[in-house]
A and B are shown apart, each in its own frame.
Chain A
Amino acid sequence: MSDELRVWIESDSDIVTARHEGRTLAASLGFSAAELAFIATAISELARNIVLYATRGEIRISLIHSGRQRGIQVVASDEGPGIRDVRKALNGGYSTSGGLGLGLPGVRRLMDETEVSSVEGKGTTIKARKWKL
């Protein structure tokens, strides 16, 4: 994957940068306006989690393909405190105030695939993909 971009996240301005760059990359694949808003909002929530819970980390965004399908992958990684109950964080309630307040249920609803790996005390990596239909 040569089309990968990395945004170092440690302040609220970096959140804006990450979602802007992600949107631009996603737009190059021809996603619709609504899909672009979904992707940008998901990046915003993922980047915010880094700032809020891990202080700093990184968002990597790349174009991916599987067979004839093309899509975008967003990877948010940090070396923060980790998530104790990943299942609970991913499911949450319908509103973002449900669950653990990580906005992860939102990311899951905005993207097609979301994977979380987290080790307490070591950090968290969240991969989210959206395919172009």
Chain B
Amino acid sequence: MEVPILKQGPYLIATVQSALNDSDLMSLRDALVAKVAKFRSRAVIVDVTALDVVDSFSTRTLRDIALMIRLRGAEMVIVGLQPEVAFAMVQIGLTLEGVGTALDLEEGLTLLNRRAKPGRQ
């Protein structure tokens, strides 16, 4: 299932709607890396509220996407990780090291806006 990506000002917002298989995740990666250049976006928010499982493959892919986005001069924030998903990830030692995270979409936008305007909080 394709993940819709919306452009909102300088940001791209990708909202995962349902469980993703590996190909979906890789399409998301390719789409985000391309769109970040097309729209000259400063940041990408990936909303994973709908995911009930984040396994080793999804974690690695999300981390890869974040690194690729950074190499393209933008940043990525993952929002909406469910508490039980976070619990399972920690239990097996999966981390999103180096990837920004926020509680939900609103917090993610606040985080990015704050970073964009240093000293003007």
Residues of A contacting B20 with CB < 8 Å? 16
Asked if A83 CB lies within 8 Å of chain B CBs, one says no
Q: Is the CB of B85 within 8 A of A106?
A: no
* Count of CB-CB pairs between chains A and B under 8 Å: 75
Residues of A contacting B21 with CB < 8 Å? 11-13, 15-16
Asked if A110 CB lies within 8 Å of chain B CBs, one says yes
Q: Is the CB of B93 within 8 A of A103?
A: no
Q: Which of chain A's residues has its CB closest to B26's CB?
A: A12
Given A34-B84, A36-B84, A103-B56, also A16-B91 (CB < 8 A)? no
In angstroms, how far is the closest chain B Cβ from the Cβ of A18? 11
Q: Is the CB of B84 within 8 A of A48?
A: no
A1-59 at interface with B (beta carbon < 8 Å): 11-13, 15-16, 19-20, 23, 32-34, 36-38, 40-41, 44-45, 48
In angstroms, how far is the closest chain B Cβ from the Cβ of A54? 16
Specify which of B23, B56, B91 is in contact with A38 (CB 8 Å cutoff).
B91
Residues of A contacting B89 with CB < 8 Å? 41
Number of contact residues on A: which range applies?
20 to 34
In angstroms, how far is the closest chain A Cβ from the Cβ of B94? 7
In angstroms, how far is the closest chain B Cβ from the Cβ of A81? 20
Residues of A contacting B95 with CB < 8 Å? 95
In angstroms, how far is the closest chain B Cβ from the Cβ of A20? 7
Q: Is the CB of B55 within 8 A of A41?
A: yes
Question: With A40-B52, A106-B93 given, can you name 9 additional A-B contacts, CB distance below 8 Å?
Answer: A34-B87, A36-B84, A38-B87, A40-B53, A41-B55, A44-B57, A45-B56, A96-B92, A105-B92
